[in-house]
Structure 1
Amino acid sequence: MGNKVKKSILLLVCYLFLLGWHAPAQLLQVVIPADIKVGSFSGSLWQGSLRQLSWRSFMLEKLDWQVTFFSLLPAITVEFRAPQGIQGAGTLRGWNSLQLSQWQLSAPADWVRQQLSLPVPITAQGTLQLRLQQGEITPQGCRDFNGGQLNWQHAQLATPLGDLDLADIQGQLSCNEQGALALVLKQDSAHLNMMGRGTVGLDGRYQFSGQVRDGPALPMVMKPLMAQLGRANAQGQIDWQTQGRLF
């Protein structure tokens, strides 16, 4: 192969690379499923953003992305926010499975409460924050979650009979053998002692169960509300459980 041919091929490759680098983000519309609606695109395929993404009942106000490298392999860093006050950022890569790295998510506690079927009418205050160092999502479910933590800051529950003050709640995230996201929670405040565990599948189905017990400073007016959860055992613990589907 002559030098002229080699130079021509090199120039062609560089030209195609530049075309791809400056390709508008709007081209993504071709590969987005029909049931996902996007209001507008801006930027390029390599660094761009979209606004007003909606899928079923879920909506993102804005999503930004940038193609980068992670462990010498191509990856995408994303950052998004939703009208409900949900925000998130992290890195992902992979084709048949998604490898997640350094993810942070936050959401109003009451938005999460609205997704659950609870036996008593309550509202939640505070913010839920999730952190994940590394993990993987496959067609069979999640796998190898490392450093997964859930923190509920300024936790409080408002009921028809008054407020329940909670300590900051810490939870541990992992993956079970069935590929579902597993969560273990525990908190101990003057008003309430609570512990539980549960799972959330890729299809949105969840189930949680645990025990709850009166704290030493629980107001007497709250006693009837606790009784609605069930009968306490000899240790004063009341079994609770809930299940449903998030989407």
Structure 2
Amino acid sequence: MKANWIAGGLLLVLYLLWLTATAPARLLAPMLPPGVQVGQFSGSVWRGAAQPVYWHGERLERLAWSLTLAGWQVSLSDPRGVMGQARLWGLRDLRLQEGRLTAPASLLSRWLMSTMPVKAAGEVTFSLTEGRFSDGRCRHIIAGGAQWRQARLHSPGRQPGAGPG
């Protein structure tokens, strides 16, 4: 009789481990930060993808992740030239390490300089050694930088090189 209880308990533990290992990625939906929406999840909680991803109304084609001993390895890509990767720890209080985001300057200028009539060209790469975020805000950055390759700016209302009259 006791052997049956042990076997039943072992089967229950194995079943619960199997459920945990195969937990569908859609279970992550309630943990998404404000301003983020996902069209469709695929894979599991441990290794999966979301596509498309909307961040404050801006569409990004694909976000992929895998859980490793070093944290969540996250990468994003988009046909417009947006590529990024980072290692994340935490859910609500997020620690980002070794982050890198590359995007066309024309796309970034739309996001960052929406009030200025300036068009930008080239490619911008942001890197972040480590940052801490909570409540949708950056709380602390240890080190980071930006590089703008083939940088060009154009103001539609002025001729290039024209100074004040």
Q: TM-score range by the shorter chain?
A: 0.7 to 0.9
The correspondence for 2:88, drawn from 92, 95, 98, is 92
1:127 matched to which residue of 2?
123
| Aligned-residue identity in percent | 32
2:162 aligns to what SS in structure 1? helix
Mapped to 1, the partners of 2:59 and 2:119 lie a distance apart of: 22
How many residues align? The count is 160
Scaled by the length of structure 2, the TM-score of the pair is: 0.79
- 2:159 partner letter: L
Change (3 A) 1:153 1:35: closer
1:147 aligns to what SS in structure 2? strand
Change (3 A) 1:25 1:154: same
Mapped to 2, the partners of 1:62 and 1:51 lie a distance apart of: 5
1:113 matched to which residue of 2?
109
Is the Cα contact below 8 Å between 1:59 and 1:83 reproduced in 2?
no
1:161 matched to which residue of 2?
159
Spell out the pairing of 1:227-238 with structure 2 (5 A cutoff).
Answer: none
1:222 aligns to what SS in structure 2? coil
Mapped to 2, the partners of 1:158 and 1:137 lie a distance apart of: 34
Spell out the pairing of 1:164-183 with structure 2 (5 A cutoff).
Answer: none
- 1:25 partner letter: A
Name stretches of at least 5 consecutive residues in structure 1 with no aligned partner: 163-220, 228-247
Change (3 A) 1:76 1:3: farther
Shift of 1:33: 8.0
- Asked which structure has the greater RCO (Cα within 8 Å, sep 6+), the reply is 2
1:145 aligns to what SS in structure 2? strand
1:48 matched to which residue of 2?
48
Shift of 1:103: 0.5
1:146 matched to which residue of 2?
142
1:19 aligns to what SS in structure 2? helix
Shift of 1:105: 0.5
* 1:45-96 deviations in Å (ceiling 9; x for gaps): 21111111224421121110111122xxxx2111112454322111111244
Which one has a bigger Cα radius of gyration? 1
Mapped to 2, the partners of 1:146 and 1:34 lie a distance apart of: 24
Q: Aligned Cα RMSD in Å?
A: 2.9
Change (3 A) 1:140 1:31: closer
Scaled by the length of structure 1, the TM-score of the pair is: 0.55
1:80 matched to which residue of 2?
76
**Higher relative helix content:** 2
Q: Does 143-152 or 30-39 show the bigger shift?
A: 30-39
1:57 matched to which residue of 2?
57
Is the Cα contact below 8 Å between 1:102 and 1:133 reproduced in 2?
yes
* 1:26-56 deviations in Å (ceiling 9; x for gaps): 3444665897543322211211111112244
2:67 matched to which residue of 1?
67
Is the Cα contact below 8 Å between 1:25 and 1:44 reproduced in 2?
yes
Mapped to 1, the partners of 2:91 and 2:30 lie a distance apart of: 18
Mapped to 1, the partners of 2:35 and 2:126 lie a distance apart of: 28
